A and B are shown apart, each in its own frame.
Chain A
Amino acid sequence: MSASSIAHAIVDGILTGGVYALMAAGLTLIFGVMDIINIAQGALVVLGAYMSYVLSAHLGIDLFLGLIITIPAFFVLGVAIEWSFMRRLREQDRVAMSILVTYAVAIIIEGILSVIFGVNVLQLHASYVDSTFHLLGFYLPYIYVFGFVLALVLLAALYYVLYRTHFGRGVRGSLQNRTAAELIGVNVDRVRMVSVGIGVAVTAAGGMVFGATNAFTPSSGYDLISRLLSIVILAGLGSIGGALVAALFMVTLEDVVAVVWSPVWATLVYYASLIVVLSFRPNGLFGTAAVRAQ
C-alpha cells in the first residue's frame, strides 16, 4: 500500500461517486415527491446499460450520443410507471406497497432482459472505455472522467430545474408539504408525474456509465439498489444535496478501504458505516425529523 494507491482510490471513488450521486438523486427525488421507495431504480439502471449496449453494439451509435435517445425514452418510461402503478397506491400504506410494486417492476425488467440477452456478463465498449491516460502515477480509463463530467452536467441541470424554475418551486413545495402546495395552486399530480419521469430519466445516463465501468448481468440491479438506498438513507430521504455528499463519501470510503485493508471487506465497511451513522442520526446526515409534515 502506497500513498499513490490511496490517491488512486480517492480519485477513483470521487469519479465513480459522481455517477452514484446522479442515480441516487433520481431515487431521492422520487421518494421526496412521491413518498415511494423505488426498488426498480437499480433494475432501471441495468436497463439503461442494456439500451446503451444495443445502440452501440448493434446500431453503432456512440455511447454518449445514444443518451439523446435513451434519456427521453426513460423519461417517458418513468411517466408511464408513475401513471400506471404509483398513483394507484392508497395513501395509508403507501411506502410498504410502493416497495412491492416497484419490486415487481424490477423483476419484470430483469425477466425481460434475461429472456432477450441471456444471463451472460456484458460490458460496454468504446474507444474511451478501453484506452487509459496517466495520472499521479496510475492509469485510468477516460470513461471515468467523461462519466463524472456527464454526472456533474446532469446534476447541475437538475439543480437548475429544481431551484431556478417555476416547475422546480412546485416540486420543492410538494416535497415540503403536499397539502399546502395544492392549496397555493401547485398541480401536485403533474409535478409528481414529471418528477418520477426525471428520476427515471437520470438512470439512463447512470446506466450507460455503470455499464461502461462495470460488467453487468440482468440481475446486477439488486446490488445496485442496495447501494443506492444506503446512500439516500445515509443522506436523509428526500435530500438531493445530501445524496451527492453521501454518494461521494460512501463510494470513496469503499475504494479506500479496498486499498488499505482488503477489497473483500470494503463492501462490509460500506454497509456498516450506514448502520453506525443511523445509530446516532436515525434520520440520516441531512434529514430532518419530519420530512413531510402533513
Chain B
Amino acid sequence: MSARAPVRALLVVLGIVILGVFPLVFSNPTTTSIAFFTVVFMVCASAWNMFAGSSGYIALGHAVYFGCGAYALTLLANHLGFAAGWGVFALVPVAGIVAGLIAIPTGLIALRARRHTFVVITIAFMFIFQLAAFNLGFTGGSSGLQPPTPLWSVKTYNDNFYYVIALVLLATVALSWLVRRSRFGLQLLAIRDDEERARGLGVRVGRVKLTAFILSAIPVGMAGGVYAYFLGQIFPQFAFDPLFDLSIALMAFLGGLGTVAGPLLGALVLESLQQYFTVQYGASQAYLIIYGALFLVVVLLLPRGVIPSVEELISRWRSRSGAPEPEPGETGRTGGGVVEAGAR
C-alpha cells in the first residue's frame, strides 16, 4: 500500500476537483442536467453498496427510500410554506432522516429472511409503497405533487442543484469509506462471507445488518429529495420505480460490488450513457438493448466488476515486474483485497 497510497490520494483529489469544476468547464445546460442525474445515481449506488455490497444482501427495494425522500421534501416544503429557493435545500437532510426512519420497520421485517427471500421481500415493499403513493390522499395519487419551483435561470438552476447533490455525494462517499475501514465494516464483510460463523464469533448480526441498512437508506432519501425538487414534480411511478432498484444494483456490480470507488464508476458510466441515449434518441427504447447487452458482457466477462478486475491486473503486472506485493494486513483495507478474499 505504501506505493499505492499517494496514487490513491491523488485520484481522490482529482475526483473532487473534477466534481467541483465540471459545470464551470461544461456549462451547456443539457450537459449539466446529465451531470446532475449522474451524480444522483452515484449517491444512490454508493449508498446501496454500503449495505448490499458489504453484507451480500441484494436489496432491490431502495426505491422505497428514494421515493419517501422525494415525497417527504415535497410535502414538507408545500405544507410548511417554504418559498422556492435555497431554503428548500434545508429539507434535504430531513428527507434523509425520514427515509432512515422508514428503513427501520421495513429493514426489521425484510432482514428476518435470508438472501433469496430477502430480495423478494424488498421488491414487495417497493410495490406496496408505490401503491400507497398512488392511492393515499396526501400524496396526490397518480397526478403526483409539485414542490415549489425556484425562478433561477436554466444555468444557475442546474448548477445550484448540481452542487447540492455533489455535497451529498461527498458526504456519502466519506461515510462509505469510513464504514469500509471500520470494525463495523469488517463485521458486515464477515456476515457476507458466512453469517452463521460471524454470529458464532460474536458479531451481533441482526443489529449490524439493520444499522447498515438504515445508513444506506439515508443518502438515498436525500438524493430522492433533491431529485424531486429538481424535476419540480413527483409521480408515484417515478418515485417508486422498479428500474431504479435494478439500475443502482447494476451500477454497483459493474464497478465492483463492495468497493468504495466501484459504484461511483458504475453510476458514472451507466447513468451518463443512459441519459445520453435518452437525449440523443428521445423516447426510443433501443438503448435498453444496448444497456442490457453491455450489462451481460460485463457480468459474464468481469463478474467481480471493473475496479477489482483492474486492480488484480495491476497487482499481477507489478508482481511480474518484481515490485513487492502489498502487505497482507493492509490489503484487507483496500477494496480489491477484501473482494478477493470474499471471492475465494
Q: Which residues of A come within 8 Å of B, CB atoms?
A: 31, 37, 85, 88-90, 92-93, 95-97, 99-101, 103-108, 110-112, 114-115, 119, 218, 222, 226, 229-230, 233, 237, 264-265, 267-268, 271-272, 274-275, 278-279, 282-284
Contacts and interface: CB of A to CB of B under 8 A. Distances in A.
A95 B115 contact: yes
B292 A111 contact: yes
A271 B128 contact: yes
List of 9 A-B pairs having minimum Cβ-Cβ separation, nearest first? A111-B288, A114-B285, A108-B292, A111-B289, A107-B292, A104-B295, A271-B124, A233-B120, A104-B296
Contact of B285 (A96, A218, A233): A218
A230 B113 CA distance: 14
A278 B343 contact: no
Contacts of A274: 120-121, 124
B58 A267 contact: no
A38 to B, nearest CB: 12
A88 B298 CA distance: 13
Given A104-B295, A229-B123, A274-B121, A115 B116 contact: no
B135 A265 contact: yes
Given A111-B289, A229-B120, A279 B128 contact: no
11 contacts: A93-B303, A104-B292, A111-B285, A111-B287, A114-B284, A114-B288, A233-B116, A268-B128, A275-B124, A279-B109, A282-B112
A108 B124 contact: no
Given A97-B299, A282-B113, A271 B127 contact: yes
Contacts of A230: 120, 124
A110 B300 contact: no
A105 B242 CA distance: 16
Contact of A282 (B117, B250, B284, B295): B117
Interface in B82-112: 109, 112
Interface string B290-302: 1111011001100
Interface in B205-221: none
**Which secondary structure dominates where chain A touches chain B?**
helix
Nearest to B110: A275
A251 B300 CA distance: 36
B134 interface: yes
Contacts of B132: 268
Nearest to B250: A100
Given A103-B246, A104-B299, A267-B127, A96 B56 contact: yes
Given A230-B124, A268-B132, A282-B112, A101 B299 contact: yes
Contacts of A279: 109, 112
Contacts of B116: 31, 37, 95, 233, 237
B307 interface: no
Contacts of A104: 292-293, 295-296, 299
Contacts of B112: 278-279, 282
A114 B282 CA distance: 13
Interface string B112-146: 11111101110111011001101100000000000
Given A100-B299, A101-B296, A107-B295, 11 more contacts: A37-B116, A37-B119, A95-B58, A100-B249, A103-B295, A107-B292, A108-B292, A108-B293, A111-B291, A226-B127, A275-B125
B286 interface: yes
B253 interface: yes
A117 B147 CA distance: 36
